[in-house]
A and B are shown apart, each in its own frame.
Chain A
Amino acid sequence: MTVRVIRPGLLTSVQDAGRYGFQKHGVIVSGVMDPLAHRLANMLVGNEELAATLEMTLRGPTLEFQEDALISICGGDLSPTVAGVSVPLWKPILLRKGSVLDFGQCRTGTRAYLAIAGGWNVPLVMNSRSTYLRAGIGGHEGRALRTGDELQAGELTGLGGRIAMRLSIQSGGTSFVASEWGIAKEMLPSYSSEPLIRVMRGNQYEWFTADSHNAFFSEPYRVTPQSDRMGYRLDGPKLELTEQSELISEAVAFGTVQVPAEGNPIVLLADRQTTGGYPKIAQIATVDLPLMAQSKPGDWIRFAEISREEAEWLWMLRESEIRQLKMGILLKNA
């Protein structure tokens, strides 16, 4: 199963859930920016959760499928079409041999995830298929996709085979068939250009002035153009320490909000460094990382405080929804 890249899009790379276990050597995690959309995309085509998807950013690629292929697209709406016909998101899709999948303007979110049954078959580097762009390792030749690249899909699973089989006997368009079922509306994330992001206090929260605490939780922060997979630099009311003190470098995490001396917060994301020395005012709840990662320069972010217990509880709730969904997909395609 070969897919040819006709046009690579703005930034399209192979990513999985991340390269864990090497942070003690300073090797960053990488992986998808929106773990939920990536996971759901894999589930819709019957993939293992560890399978790699294509992460597409703002302006998606044009891809030619040289055989029939079971795919799904989840995340931001980058206006996918085949032969001029809109392809729905959040559903399994059977593409006919020779189909050209094209993406247009970005309607919602920032990143979309293209899963293919069997996963994108690139070599494992340090136990992961994620592209680590800055180091030039992992993914497809350690880099973002370019015109003329050819990507291969892995072996599809039994479940993937059954989903594809059912779609192939369903009537549909000439170039693709969209499944009647998909991710339920209630479970779809509501990407927004003014998202409310829930955070816990960071370990240096008390280092900041009362005015900074107030501003951080009451004023919106704008996402600046200096924002990428490593982190988003935000712009808004300056955050100040009660006294100048240097933090001894320590671990940071996906969603850490750190504040350099100039006072503008930086949100650390998928390609974050492993450790950092700037005070951490907040940590984004894991369930809200997708909303943060789907925002783009010019968007306004608001932060709301929740407790760690709430964050844990929201995460457990999300996981149980995902388990139910997985069960539903299995039953539907038994």
Chain B
Amino acid sequence: MEATFQPLGDQAVVVQFGTTMSLEAYQQVRQVASMLDRQPIPGMVEYIPAYTTITIFYNPQVVYDWYQSQGTKEREQDADSLYQICCNLIREQLNHAEHQSERADRTIEIPVCYGGELGPDLGDVAELNQLTEQEVIDIHAGGDYLIYMIGFAPGFPYIGGMSERIAAPRRKSPRLSIPSGSVGIAGKQTGIYPMETPGGWQIIGRTPLRLFRPEDDPPSLLQAGDRVRFYPISYDEFLAFEEGSS
């Protein structure tokens, strides 16, 4: 798939692979990430990989200084802005990137207490899809999932592979506070809130697992590329799990 480039303001480039979520786009994003790990472009501050995009943040001063240090021959190529210089650098590296093999998959099992006060939007999700709450739970816990990206909050996994039968749009207005461990649905995506934060997803349950671990390196339990399965637990099991881990 062809990469397209867009600016995100005056200090970042968004490299995009298509406009729909696909395994192919995901693999291309992973490839750019591993390419940048091996050889960051001059001035790169960091990158954020997502489903179909990888956004590269740069320090314009470093990019400018690098550009000035180049011979006139290199500078002849079409670059009327620092953004263009970055795009050219990324494009050039993409053309020379070798295919890297993905690391082996891990599968992580995630216990979830569905519905009730831990999953206040389970009823709405069921109603939107003309299902019973139990059917939503069965479908959600019955799927095999892949983590496409970690984002939005520390250790927050964006998980692909959810059945469209339980899809639900984001809430019209984000909630000001969603408790840590909440499992949600937004469109065709499902995810888990690793810490208390505002957010707009429909909340269907909660896991007692700790996803953000600032004392560890990497600080996130889940990594892009992990496989995930959910299994239902009761409210009592949820409480017991929380006590056991604290």
Contact = CB atoms under 8 A, between A and B. Distances in A.
A22 interface: yes
B173 interface: yes
B172 A251 contact: no
Contacts of B152: 26, 249, 273-276
Given A256-B8, A277-B186, A25 B154 contact: yes
Interface string B6-42: 1111111010000111000000000001000000000
A251 B46 contact: no
A152 interface: no
Which residue, of B7, B158, B187, B189, has the highest number of chain A Cβ atoms within 10 A?
B7
Contacts of B189: 249
B155 A25 contact: yes
B28 to A, nearest CB: 14
B57 A253 contact: yes
Contacts of A261: 169-170, 172-173
Given A315-B60, A319-B61, A125 B169 contact: no
Interface in B187-215: 187, 189, 194-198, 200, 212, 214
Which residue, of A134, A200, A230, A274, has the highest number of chain B Cβ atoms within 10 A?
A274
A249 B48 contact: no
A260 interface: yes
Given A25-B155, A248-B50, A203 B172 contact: no
A126 B214 contact: yes
A203 B12 CA distance: 12
A24 B48 contact: yes
A275 B149 contact: yes
A273 B50 CA distance: 13
Given A203-B14, A309-B81, A24 B47 contact: yes
B191 to A, nearest CB: 9
Interface residues of A, number: 47
Interface in B106-150: 149-150
B220 interface: yes
Interface string A232-251: 00000000000000101111
A251 B12 contact: yes
A16 to B, nearest CB: 14
B90 to A, nearest CB: 15
A238 B57 CA distance: 31
Interface string A19-33: 011111111100000
B49 interface: yes
A285 B173 contact: no
A286 B10 contact: yes
24 contacts: A22-B46, A24-B33, A25-B220, A26-B151, A26-B153, A26-B156, A26-B212, A134-B195, A246-B170, A248-B50, A249-B51, A249-B149, A249-B158, A249-B189, A250-B52, A250-B53, A251-B55, A253-B9, A253-B11, A261-B172, A274-B151, A283-B9, A284-B9, A286-B9
For the complex of A and B, the 4 pairs showing the least CB-CB separation, nearest first, are A275-B151, A251-B55, A283-B9, A251-B48
